[in-house]
Amino acid sequence: MDSSLIQKSGKARLILENGQEFSGFSFGSEHSVAGEVVFNTGMTGYPETFTDPSYRGQILILTYPLLGNYGVPSEKRENKFPVHFESDKAQLGGLLISDYSFQYSHWNAARSLAEWLKIHKIPALYGIDTRQVTKILREKGTMLGKIELDSQAVDFYDPNRENLVSEVSIAKPQLYGTGSTKIALIDCGCKINIIRSLVQRGVQVWRVPWDYDLNKDTFDGLVISNGPGDPKMCRQTILQIRQTIARNIPVFGICLGHQLLALAAGANTYKLKYGHRSQNQPVIEINTKRCLITSQNHGFAVDNHSLPREWNAWFVNLNDQTNEGIMHTSGRFRSVQFHPEASPGPVDADYLFDDFLKVVGI
């Protein structure tokens, strides 16, 4: 039990940009923070969620009412990767929940959620009326907000005005796996399970920074990872994708990578009212009518009406009919808005890695 938390957790508040305030109790890092307030309706998988770089700059509301009951796993590593997390650290700006479990129990737990959040300097509040805040965001749309502790005032901050990808991408190329097929991976804030999913299929993964010049190298296929923020901030990445397409090298984009491929092809993207963040988003493959339950985390989408000739919508979201995938008529360039690597979430879409590698020639 985090007995010290019971004694020391102080009152704090969430302030939305529309002026509404919600009181809570601090159980994370003791400092104020500002960002974009978003909600996730998933019921499990918070260690993977909190380490997803796509949450950079965001204050995350979890609608599931109880958090912390199974603690946080160890930071064990295998083959260069953290076993239980999607990156090397917590990535979200702040956390808002309804109820925090001061007791945790799990065979794999190494420490409490509160201890882990403090180590990674993430402010967090419990006692927040998450249902009411989520209703506000669904009705009014995603908005800016801030967690303020005591007299530590901060200004509102819009992370989408920044190039967040440059903050979460690696600094220099890294190589994984030993296969004869070389897949270049543009790291826009890549989840570890994307790399793991490729390496497990016997390919060599060459992970490069978001603005790396791919023209000087040879590779068999290109994967564009997930990541945070507005895709239009990544002009260098869009240029590299466009040049790779011109070289007729197969391309597969995931989440932000999907939006970047669309922009490289000449399509447009736009901001959703409140995004898709959960592990139960239903999508349907347009040609086959095959339905998948998918893990998603994004605030922007591809405009179907802006797709150029020779590009077709591939998947559609069954909740709001927004675009969930595109494919070139050649079949060599494709992308999906959801996460086939899951982690957390269902693995219905895992086969898409196999389909892409078939296009590559494996």
Active site residues: 255, 339, 341
Reduced to 3 states, what is the DSSP secondary structure of residue 352? helix
Rounded CA-CA distance 319/66 in Å is 26
The per-residue DSSP string of 39-104 comes to EE--SS-HHHHHT-GGGBTEEEEE-SSEE-TT-EE---EETTEESS-SSSS--BSEEE-SEE-SS-
**Rg of the chain taking only CA atoms, in angstroms:** 20
Residue with tokens 């991408």: 169
Distance CA 28, CA 97 (A): 11
Tokens standing for 251? 């391309």
Confirm if 296 and 276 have CB atoms less than 8 A apart. Answer: yes
Query: Cβ(296)–Cβ(318) under 8 Å?
Result: no
Amino acid symbol at 164: L
Q: Which residue is associated with the tokens 């069954």?
A: 318
Distance between CA atoms of residues 356 and 198, nearest Å: 10
The helix (run of H) or strand (run of E) holding residue 198 is: helix 192-199
